[in-house]
Chains A and B, each alone.
Chain A
């Protein structure tokens, strides 16, 4: 193992222990202690107990690059290293728990409000401090062992096992959707999901594991060539592509009927953020202009829709007519809203044309905050209700569909808007405009020299982004019916940014995936609600460090990245610690980064 490895074990183990302590302090264990995933024993809380050690074990056994040569760790030592790392991690955490127990839970709670007897009970598996700590360490050791083994085992074994476990966890997390689908389709779901705990039954978990592991094994059998071939086939044959698209569309259109109202409501929220993400993707992903004040368009769309469709102001005495309002049909109003928002986009964009990069980001942040503050101020009371807000936004009824009170109906309205925005984005990116944006993002000076009118295309990006964002706001207004300033805070801008970045800048499927993960998952698990912002923040940091191209990278962007490997890998590698001290930065990074101090 050598000295290097033992130092690594110690460091990773300590880091794992500290992460576990963090998770306990921030209250995640307490929150998820009772969310059963499989049977009665495997709760999300316990999985999270395993996770820090597992991650530590996996990190410490990663292949290292020594002098340009990749050296993977063999699986035997891998297992040992993992176990030792888990031991260090578990011991660190157990020491902290023992300390908390000795010092007095009530005294600690005066500072850290999440620490309670129940938490200590959960962490010691109900066994009390001395003996329960051994169990805690044992779990950590198991986590470390799994992590170490998973990283070093032969791929044929590792990949199917990982896929199987992930599938079980995912289906366990989706315990509020999948049973409903089963029932709607006329199947029995009790063998898969236990009606008592809500989670998977052991039998169900086993079957899911076996099925997904087998599927993964078949696809990756000959070094992943089977799946490669399939992907190539789909990419070559337009018919297959169209078929895939039709299948996705069909699935998207029957989903709410299968899932019932509660989950349709979540899907509606996802759709609103898909729309916001698509709009922001044009500004940030295509044109490379980082806009942190996107909530301004969202608020503009929502309030203007309210005003145009005859909403009332909330006042302390009842309702009042806004100073400026109209009462027109929603579908007519929404066109006006989008046009106006495009105008606002140009108005905002025009003065900041010269600013680039971080300065543009800060200016837009400022503008967004000004909008939020004014929306919430008493000054805005006669116009848009100020702190009290508005209510009675149109239900946008058409063909007897009610989009406000029936989330299933609303989903279809949102779907139409999303498809429209997807179509526009797709056509734009493939057009002259899209190429101009690309050129501008990569190098503004060169683009200008090549005859691209950067002023025109920047304003166009702001206008398009603004129009689509305002549609998101209009939809939001219809879905919720009443508007209060609390819905229009900076968190909206950051969430939209996280959606775009998680999916991959410039990638349309990425936006959908990003919204599903960031809005859909927390929406389905109410327990996540108060940790939403924490997760978004953590996700932004983690993506930027570990996978800056996002989950579903844009193909063209990926090619650019490959062509520019030297510059990109320089920091991607430095990030994973595989190569320290690579200084070269070449223009054309993932975010269209400009070289420093370009005159």
Chain B
């Protein structure tokens, strides 16, 4: 859904800066930075892989990292779609999207908790999971729509930083609203016993939860693509994303397209919330922040505004998060490398924005203004 950006070739810009400052400083700095990073990563990976056999990760461990990364990354992809859809249509970073996700998880939690107490969760896993999904989706859609109506719509035509600051404020507000409503403690999320244990698929022993996560995400992304490509509403959304003024001249109701976009983002966040909750088995008022940023990173990584980019970026980021600390940091003998998992997310975010702001699928040279 990317709108064509009027790029200015880097060469021209570099030359212009060069005239001003004598040397193309930006290029030099970036090159040094890139060389430095690449060498750190390569040396780290090399050191890890050449560790003595007793300290090395086994092949099974690497396989588990990859599976974990894909499962985790699929959840990011779902949340990332919410960022990408909204960015595509409004050109704004909906910073509070992580909180939309969090509210969905809380709603599902209260139902799951009640079902676990009554035994319904274990006796009817399919029906109860379906209800949890619906509850989470409805809640997340509600929060997303409220957010759009109260915080964003009045600022539709404001300078671009204004909605961003508003979104940050809204994120903090929603997070602490949940803290006030539901309390600050971490709550254990009950999982139906049918989802515990493993399934063997193609000779691979896979955690049931992870299989369900990946399958659900694939279905959701496919459904969304079909919706955008085939339905009238989907087409009108794409039209507004391409050019809202022209779209409105063509008789498309821009407001409605925007509201639909937020609703779909909320729906996907609700699905992601249930998947995240059954994967990590806990909910908390601040649970939306880090996954939210990770998902945003995924969206940027894949090229913000693009659906397939968000999916690709999500899985890539999941893999980077699960493989990165093990592969690179272990070699440097850094204690508890997985503490730095989120630092990896942010590093990826920063690097993508610096070196390739258009994302993996984007043009690469896009100057984001």
A positions within 8 Å CB-CB of B: 22, 25-28, 110-114, 290, 292, 350-359, 361-363, 365-367, 369-370, 373-374, 376-379, 381, 448, 453, 455-456, 491, 494, 497-498, 501, 531, 533-534, 536-541, 544-545, 548, 570-571, 574-575, 582-585, 589-594, 596-599
Contact = CB atoms under 8 A, between A and B. Distances in A.
A25 B106 CA distance: 15
Interface of B: 3, 5-8, 13, 16-17, 20-21, 25-26, 29-30, 33, 91-93, 110, 150-151, 154-166, 168-177, 179-183, 245, 293, 296-297, 300, 334-336, 339-340, 342-343, 346-347, 349-350, 353-354, 357, 367-369
B9 to A, nearest CB: 11
Contacts of A591: 159-162, 165
Which 8 A-B pairs rank lowest in CB-CB distance, beginning with the nearest?
A593-B159, A540-B169, A537-B172, A537-B173, A589-B159, A26-B180, A599-B6, A534-B176
A219 B30 CA distance: 60
A536 B339 contact: no
A373 B354 CA distance: 21
Nearest to A23: B180
Nearest to A376: B339
A25 B181 contact: yes
Nearest to B14: A354
Given A112-B182, A378-B335, A594-B160, A541 B17 contact: no
A350 B26 contact: yes
Contacts of B174: 537
Contacts of A539: 169
Interface on chain A toward B: helix, strand, loop, or mixed SS? helix
Contact of B155 (A350, A491, A571): A571
Given A111-B110, A112-B182, A501-B165, A354 B26 contact: yes
Given A362-B349, A541-B169, A27 B156 contact: no
Given A453-B20, A534-B173, A370 B30 contact: no
Contacts of A352: 353-354
Contacts of A355: 353-354, 357, 368
A522 B84 CA distance: 37
Given A353-B26, A591-B162, A598 B369 contact: yes
B151 A455 contact: no
Contacts of A544: 155, 158, 162-163, 165-166, 169
A112 B155 contact: no
Contacts of B177: 22, 26, 534
Nearest to B172: A537
A28 B33 CA distance: 49
Contacts of B7: 599
B339 A571 contact: no
A433 to B, nearest CB: 17
A533 B178 CA distance: 12
A173 to B, nearest CB: 21
A366 B156 contact: no
Contact of B342 (A358, A369, A456, A536): A369
A584 B245 CA distance: 11
A292 B92 CA distance: 16
Contacts of B156: 571, 574
A596 B160 contact: yes
Contact of B368 (A359, A365, A379): A359
A359 B357 contact: yes
Contacts of B171: 537
B162 A599 contact: no
Contacts of B154: 545, 571, 574-575
A113 B181 contact: yes
Nearest to A382: B335
A597 B366 CA distance: 10
Contact of B5 (A361, A381, A597): A597
Nearest to A495: B172
A125 to B, nearest CB: 23
A352 to B, nearest CB: 6
A498 B166 CA distance: 11
Given A494-B172, A534-B180, A583-B157, A358 B93 contact: yes
A366 B349 contact: yes
A531 B33 CA distance: 42
A597 B3 contact: yes
A138 B357 CA distance: 58
Contacts of B183: 113
Nearest to B151: A541
Nearest to B163: A544
Contacts of A381: 335
Contacts of A531: 176, 180
A585 B163 CA distance: 14
Contacts of A365: 293
A96 B242 CA distance: 44
A362 B182 CA distance: 29
A456 B154 CA distance: 36
A370 B5 contact: no
B13 to A, nearest CB: 8
Contact of A599 (B8, B157, B334): B8
Given A373-B346, A497-B165, A537-B172, A575 B369 contact: no
Given A540-B165, A591-B159, A373 B343 contact: yes
Nearest to A366: B346
Given A363-B349, A534-B173, A540-B170, 6 more contacts: A356-B368, A534-B180, A540-B168, A544-B166, A571-B157, A599-B6
